[in-house]
Structure formats: structure tokens, C-alpha cells
Amino acid sequence: MGRTNDSMLREFVLTGLSAHPELQTVFFVLVLCMYLMILLGNGVLISVIICDSHLHTPMYFFLCNLSFLDICYTSSSVPLILDSFLTVRKRVSFSGCMVQMFLSFAMGATECILLGMMALDRYVAICYPLRYPVIMRKSAYVPMAAGSWAAGIVDSVVQTSLAMQLPFCADNVINHFVCEILAILKLACADISINVISMAGSNLMVLVIPLLVISISYIFIVATILRIPSTEGKHKAFSTCSAHLTVVIVFFVTIFFMYAKPKSKSSAGTDNQDIIDALISLLYGVMTPMLNPLIYSLRNKDVKIAVRNMLGRKNFSDGI
């Protein structure tokens, strides 16, 4: 395989499901429907939280950030995915590929950290309910959310910068739907040890540490709930955490399949394995953002009441 300097590499080619044309139309319709549901569900959730003053609390502030993140993440990759289903071999410029990779990685890393912050919020709410308004003041939860965004963006800048410095092989074909960092690293014609070490550090910061924070927080939360004497009190306390816990399980189980073990070029799998990895990536990138608003609306009484009130006001205004 020939080697080319990164300054000479003008574009990448995304194969997507080109080897399985019979699946392209099906997946195009499926992903398009899921993307529209993501925009609608998360858009409605953001609107409800902004319009209903009863939801102007730290938990719903974090949830609003989560929904906005999901819209940004999917919008950075899904249009490219849909285009790849319509094109046999989708060509993407080098700079365009790096920008898309940066945005997707930044949004994913930010969401990991934000879920950890949301767990801390639930921990304080359940374990220290009387002190909750004092501890989770606006001067506390706004910097927590801003810090999540900043950490995700900085992490993505580091990973993208390191990837851009690599020399790439003449074969610029990416066995993926999008410019995904692990698929990009497989094309490098140089030692990627620094990238692997950097990815391991990234995994520690945005995967392991938030997951530890979530696990420890829920250990204390469960211990506190079990000490509540009444069954009704236990159910009410757990209901405030169940939606977040469900989202965490869906999100981290999927993302660990992708990023827990960075692969070097020498360990690249077969084409079938690449397709499986790409489909897992697609599941993570589209399914999770689609489920988040459904989970929070179906398992949260406050959100359901707020949605009904907003729809009721709309119907009333239409009647007038």
C-alpha cells in the first residue's frame, strides 16, 4: 500500500453499506425517520422546559442541555450518513472530514461528562433534600454544565489535532458511514501509539471517571432510598432518578462497545467486522438521542404534566 503525505490527501471515501446495496434504501428510510423523531422529541422537550416555569430547576436545566447535545450530535453526522446511503462511494474532503469528526467527538464526550453531572445533581437531591436548594444554586449548576461542554470540546480538539498530523496511506477508503476517529486511525501509515495513549486518556476522562461518579452516586442514592420508611416515599424518590438511570445504561453500554478499546492499525478486523462496528456506531449515534426524550417524558410526571399544559394552551389559543 502506498504512502502519501497528509498535505497531499484531499479527500476520504466513505463506503457505508455500498457492499450491501439491498440494505441502503431500508436504512435510509429508517435513519431519516429516527432523525426526524430526534429533532421533534428533543425540540419539544427543550421548548417545554423553557416555557414551563415549574421546570426551571437544576435537573431540567441539565436535561435541556442533554437534549440540545443530542440535536447537535446527530446533526453533525446524520446528514452525511443519509447522503452515504444515496451515493455508492461518498467522497468527503479532508477538512470536511476533520470538522465532522471534531463535532461528533466533542458532542459525545460532552454528553458523557454531562450525565455524570446529572448523577451528582440526583445524589444531592435524594441524599440532602433540605440542603439541595442551597447546594445546587445557579452559581453551581451553570458552571457544571459549562464545564462539561468545555471538557468535551478540549478533548475533541486534542484527538482531532493528533489525527490531522498523521500521514495517511494512498488507500483513503473509510469503512464507515461517517468520519469516525477509530476508522480514520486505521488508514494511518505511521505509528499511532501516541493516538492510542491519548484515546486511553480520553476514555479515562470522559468514560471511566463519569461512570465512577454515576456508580458511586447511585450507591448512596439507593442506600438513602432503602432507609425511607414508606413504600410511597421510596417510589417517589426512585421515580426522580429512574429516567436518568435508564438513559445512562443505554448510553454507556453502547459507547463502551465503540471506544473502550482503541484499535491500532495492525489489529484491524475484516470487512464484516468493520460493518458491524459501523452499525454499532449508527445505533449509538441515532438510537440513544431518539430514546432520551421518550424516556424522560414517559417516566417523568412533571414533564408529562408540562406537555399536557402546553398542548392545552395551544388548543385553547387555536379555539379563540
Q: Is residue 309 part of a domain?
A: no
- Which parts of 14-137 fold into alpha helices (H)? 21-51, 58-86, 94-127, 132-135
Confidence bin at 6 (pLDDT 50/70/90):
very low
Looking at the predicted structure, is the pLDDT value of residue 102 above 80? yes
Dist. CA 23–CA 30, nearest whole Å: 11
> Domain limits at 92?
21-260+281-301
pLDDT (tens digit per residue) in 131-188? 999 999 999 999 999 999 999 999 999 999 999 888 887 677 887 778 888 888 888 8
**81 domain residue, yes or no:** yes
Give the domain CATH number at 223.
1.20.1070.10
Cβ distance 166 to 6 under 8 Å?
yes
Number of domains making up the chain:
1
How big is the CA angle at 241 (ends 247 and 149), to the nearest 5 degrees? Answer: 55
Instruction: Tell me which of 254 and 150 has the higher pLDDT.
Output: 150
Surface-to-core class of residue 178, CB atoms within 10 Å of its CB (0-12 exposed, 13-18 middle, 19+ buried) = buried
| Residue 183 grid coordinates | 476508522
Rg of the chain over all Cα atoms, to the nearest angstrom = 22
Give the dihedral of Cα atoms 140, 146, 152, 153; nearest 10 deg.
-150
Q: For position 252, what pLDDT does the model report?
A: 79
314 part of a folded domain: no
313, part of any domain:
no
Q: Is residue 52 part of a domain?
A: yes
Asked if 13 and 90 count as a contact pair (C-beta separation under 8 A), the reply is: yes
Residue 223 reports pLDDT greater than 60: yes
Give the span between the Cα atoms of 164 and 132, in whole angstroms.
45
* Residue 126 lies inside a defined structural domain of this protein: yes
Q: Would you state the pLDDT for residue 156?
A: 95
Confirm whether 274 is domain-assigned: no
Cα–Cα nearest to 242, from 287, 188, 303:
303
Rounded to whole angstroms, the Cα distance separating 151 from 304 reads 32
Report yes or no on 161 lying in a domain.
yes
Please state, as a whole number, how many other Cβ atoms lie within 10 Å of the Cβ of residue 221: 22
